[in-house]
Amino acid sequence: MFSFIKNLLGIGPKTDYAALLRQGAMIIDVRTPEEYRNGHLPRSVNIPLDTLKRRLGDLEKDRRIIACCASGMRSGLAKRILRSHGFREVYNGGSWTNLKSLIH
């Protein structure tokens, strides 16, 4: 329970997203195709949240995955979906614009 509260409040060690990418992590942008076309991270793959469950077979369960969206809400849902389907190392990168500033 304590770790849930810490995660909810954003307390605890910060994730080094740049290091995860250097180690081969994949960025999944779960926004709509239109949102993605209006701006996205260069190495990201657009898998809209409403199609994620159908596209699970396109993803490697052993690969680190960083989910992002506009604010962190949809990427948080994507993280839960992926974890519930056996993906081991999934991170909520939050908004793609914030993630961009953390990896450059």
**Residues with catalytic function:** 69
- Asked if the structure places residue 40 within a domain, the reply is yes
| pLDDT at residue 5, as a whole number | 53
| pLDDT at residue 2, as a whole number | 52
- Asked if the structure places residue 64 within a domain, the reply is yes
- Asked if the structure places residue 57 within a domain, the reply is yes
The reported pTM is 0.87
What is the number of structural domains in the chain? Answer: 1
Q: What is the DSSP letter of 100?
A: H
pLDDT digits (tens, 9 = 90+) for 2-27: 555 555 555 556 899 999 999 999 99
- Asked if the structure places residue 6 within a domain, the reply is no
CATH number for position 65: 3.40.250.10
Whole-number CA gyration radius for the chain: 13
Q: For the stretch 21-49, what's the b/e string if a residue is b when 16 or more beta carbons lie within 10 angstroms of its beta carbon?
A: beeebbbbbbbbeebbeeebbeebbebbb
Residue ranges making up the domain that contains 56: 14-103
- Asked if the structure places residue 82 within a domain, the reply is yes
Paired tokens of 53: 């469950």
Going 24 to 30 to 33 to 39, the CA torsion angle's sign is negative
pLDDT digits (tens, 9 = 90+) for 68-102: 999 999 999 999 999 999 999 999 999 999 999 98
- Asked if the structure places residue 66 within a domain, the reply is yes
- Asked if the structure places residue 37 within a domain, the reply is yes
Rounded mean pLDDT, 45-61: 97
Between the alpha carbon of residue 34 and those of residues 27, 37, 40, 70, 84, the distances in Å are 18, 5, 11, 12, 27
- Asked if the structure places residue 8 within a domain, the reply is no
